[in-house]
Every structure is written in C-alpha cells, then in structure tokens.
Structure 1
Amino acid sequence: MTLYLLDTNAASEAMRGHPAFDAKLQSLPPGQWCISAVTSSEIRYGVASRPEAARLHRIVDEFLRIVPILPWDALAATRHGALRADLKARGTPIGDFDEMIAAHALALGAVVITDNTRHFARVPGLVIENWLRPSGH
C-alpha cells in the first residue's frame, strides 16, 4: 500500500476544503495518508502568526485531530543529514523544512503530495505527486 505524505501546502489545501483534493483524500483507505510532525509544526507556526488566528485555530485543531501525524525520528534525521549535504553540494537546496519533509518521506518510502513539485523534484529518489494541478504546473 502506498503511503502519501502531505507537505505543508497540500495540508493547507485540505484544510481549505479544496473539492478535488478532498475527494482524493476521501477515496483513500484510512491510514494511507498522513503528515510529518515537521508539517504539523509549520501549520502551527503559520496559524500562530496570523491575525485571524482564533478562527484558524479551530480549523487547524480539527485537521490535526483527524490526520495521522508521523513522528520525525532517527531514520528521518539520518536521511536528512545526507540529503541536506547532497543538495547543498549541488547548489540546489530547497529550504530546511522542505528538506526535512523530503527526508521523512524517503525514510518512510512515502510519496510526497505537494503543489511545489519543482522544488521537491530536486530531491533524488523522492516520488512526488501534485493533486492540485495534476499536470504539475
């Protein structure tokens, strides 16, 4: 069974109620999609830094209550160290949090769901899908 790991922009679309995105998530069996603890942190930071936080907190809390949040563990950290060094050496870093999410997906053997395919495509061996714009553009 394929595991789908939503990156932060994909999780944000799920919380916004994007119809096609929601339909895709609902078509999957329970446990087939999740987010990284890194994504949970980014979402919490985003809502805490917005003026309309009270309304957003309710939406975020509900989403984080239902979505499986996988811990960022030692295997993810190991993958991250090697990935970050490789991307830096090639001059193609993608940012700390995206590198952590990509490393987590590699450690899990998961597919990253993102609208930022050009960014994540820099990661060797990472499988990505864009459910918002299926052509990837």
Structure 2
Amino acid sequence: MRYLLDTDHLSIIQRQSGADYNNLAARMAQYPPSDFAISVITIQEQMLGCHAYINRARHPTELVKGYDIMIRLVADFQRLSILPFDAIAAQTLDRLNTQRIQLARMDARIAAIALSRSMILLTRNHRDFSKVTGLVIEDWTIGR
C-alpha cells in the first residue's frame, strides 16, 4: 500500500460524480487497487456522521435514508484495505502531540497512521495536514 485516502477523498469516490471525482478516479485507475487503503479513523468519522443523521431523523423516510447510507458505508469499507490505529500509530501520535501542532483530533490520528507506515496521504486538506512535518500529502482531485 502506498496511498492512504483521507475521509474527504473517500467521500468523493462514494459520490461518484463531478470534476473532483473524475480527476480522482482517473488518477487512481493508474494504480492497482492494492496501492490504496483507508484508516479505521475514516470509518469512525463516516459512521459518526451517519449516526448523527439517523439521530436527527424526524420522519420514517429520513430513518430509511440514514440506514441505507449506513449499509452503503459498510459495503464501501469492504472494498478497501483498512489500516488500524495500532501501537506504532499511537507512538507517532504522541510525537505529534508533543509538537503542539494545531490539528483536529481525527486528522492527527489519520496523519499518525500515514506517517507510521510511510504512506502518501491523499487529501484536499492541505491547510491542516501541511503542518505535519514529514507527512507527504497530495490532492488527486485537481486536474493535471
């Protein structure tokens, strides 16, 4: 595995429409699927979003939609390798925390997983992830 998909890139793949998707899909098609992975943190972020949607539902149709989204997420997660937040990622996160980088909690965990495995993080969030020394980031939603 060479590339870790940030949650934003995975969401674009899931939508399957628009210029961002076309650019990302074209770039990814140049590599074998085994070169890509997602983190367990991305699963957590997407499931939390789905959970919040279901909890806000006021009508049965909204519940149906929320649970349909959850089923699609589970199917999507089965298509990609999932990287755990393991002891090495935890040590990397500790090092990041000592640097006092202003980074959201989930982003720091994703960065720690990418750093601990020497992977390139595919993300549109350059503003935040560029603060992490040594983290290689690329945005494949931008046309070449």
Task: Give TM-score scaled by structure 1 length.
Answer: 0.87
8 A contact 2:24–2:140 mirrored in 1: yes
Give the alignment partner of residue 129 of structure 2, picking from 78, 95, 120.
Answer: 120
- Identity over aligned pairs, percent: 31
Once residues 76 and 30 of structure 2 are traced to their aligned partners in structure 1, the CA distance between those partners, rounded to angstroms, is 17
Residues 134, 97 of structure 1: alpha-carbon distance in 2 compared, 3 angstrom cutoff: farther
Q: Residue 19 and residue 59 in structure 1: after superposition, are their counterparts in 2 closer, same or farther (change >3 A)?
A: farther
The alignment partner of 2:103 has SS state of: coil
> Counterpart in 2 of 1:106?
115
Regions of 4+ moved over 2 Å: 22-27
Q: TM-score, normalised by structure 2?
A: 0.83
Q: Does 1:39 align with 2:42?
A: yes
Backbone CA RMSD of aligned residues:
1.7
Which runs of 5 or more residues in structure 1 are unaligned? none
Distance between the aligned counterparts of 1:134 and 1:15, measured in 2?
19
Deviation, 1:114, is 0.5
Instruction: Between the two structures, name the one with larger relative contact order (CA 8 Å, sep ≥ 6).
Output: 2
Verify the 8 A CA contact 1:84 1:93 in the aligned structure 2.
no
Where structure 2 has 5 or more consecutive residues not aligned to the other structure, the ranges are 58-64
Q: How many residues are aligned here?
A: 130
> Whose radius of gyration is greater, 1 or 2?
2
